[in-house]
Amino acid sequence: MSLPPLATQADAALYGYTLPADRADELLARASVRIRRAAGQPITPSTVTIQLAVEGSTLELPAPPVIGVQTVSAVARDGTLTALTGWWWDGEHLNLPDCETSRAQVVYQRGWAVTPDGVVELTCQVADRLSDTPRGMEVGIRERAIDDYREVYAAEAVQAAGDLLAGELTALQRELGPRCVWVVKST
């Protein structure tokens, strides 16, 4: 299943980027894939299932933003689940009063209902860069020549052609925070 691009042609125009009309959708889709891969966490809303150790009466769900909690279950040693009742989400923590389990499974929706402006602008920036990247660079061509004309690309430029540049990664981390490594299952 392909996720929708993080930006549109109209967004690119709004931020001052001029993408080739015949390739704009492709470039925005490719930029979105690179940004999602680098983010290491869902940007588009998704349902996440995690299991966490319970210490005390509250749980902090990893990698916000949390849109809403759907179910909370106690996890037995053999892996069986038992629905918990009386829990509530206060916007920062999942409150589990009178909880006697050592492990809980939480199903919740996270991501951004509206993609942050910084991610939209970054998507447009990456798409613009991709539009200016010679096609051969993406597959590792380091040099090309026609008659007496020659172009040679630095090895670093060839490597970066398929990923985000260091400044783009920094901008993405500033917008989204650190990568999420807690996800057990995401749909």
For residues 51 and 99, state if they share a domain. Answer: yes
How far is the C-alpha of 152 from the C-alpha of 170, rounded, in Å? Answer: 27
For residues 166 and 120, state if they share a domain. Answer: yes
Q: Does any domain span residue 132?
A: yes
Q: Higher pLDDT residue, 111 or 17?
A: 17
Quote the tokens at residue 11: 């967004």
Q: What percent of the chain has pLDDT over 90?
A: 53
Structural domain harbouring 67: 46-110
Looking at 87, 110, 133, which one is the last position of a domain? 110
For residues 84 and 106, state if they share a domain. Answer: yes
Quote the tokens at residue 174: 């500033």
For residues 142 and 54, state if they share a domain. Answer: no
Residue-wise DSSP of 158-172: HHHTTS--HHHHHHH
Q: Does any domain span residue 92?
A: yes
Contact 125, 17 (CB under 8 A): yes
User: Mean pLDDT across the stretch 181-187?
Assistant: 53
Q: Residue 132: its pLDDT value, please? A: 80
Q: Does any domain span residue 57?
A: yes
Number of domains in the chain: 2
For residues 103 and 60, state if they share a domain. Answer: yes
Contact 15, 124 (CB under 8 A): yes
Looking at 69, 84, 110, which one is the last position of a domain? 110
Q: Higher pLDDT residue, 183 or 120?
A: 120
Integer-rounded Cα Rg, in Å, for the chain is 22
Total-model pTM: 0.70
Q: Residue 107: its pLDDT value, please? A: 96
Looking at 110, 129, 147, which one is the last position of a domain? 110
- Other beta carbons within 10 Å of 23: 13
User: Mean pLDDT across the stretch 88-109?
Assistant: 91
Q: Residue 62: its pLDDT value, please? A: 82
Residue-wise DSSP of 45-114: -EEEEEEEE--SSEEPPSSSPEEEEEEEEEE-TTS-EEE--S-EE-SS-EE-TT---SEEEEEEEES-SS
pLDDT band for position 135 (cuts 50, 70, 90): low
CB-based burial label for 93 (10 Å; 0-12, 13-18, 19+): middle
Q: Does any domain span residue 61?
A: yes
User: Mean pLDDT across the stretch 167-180?
Assistant: 84
Q: What is the pLDDT of residues 47-75, one digit of tens each?
A: 989 999 998 899 988 867 889 999 999 99
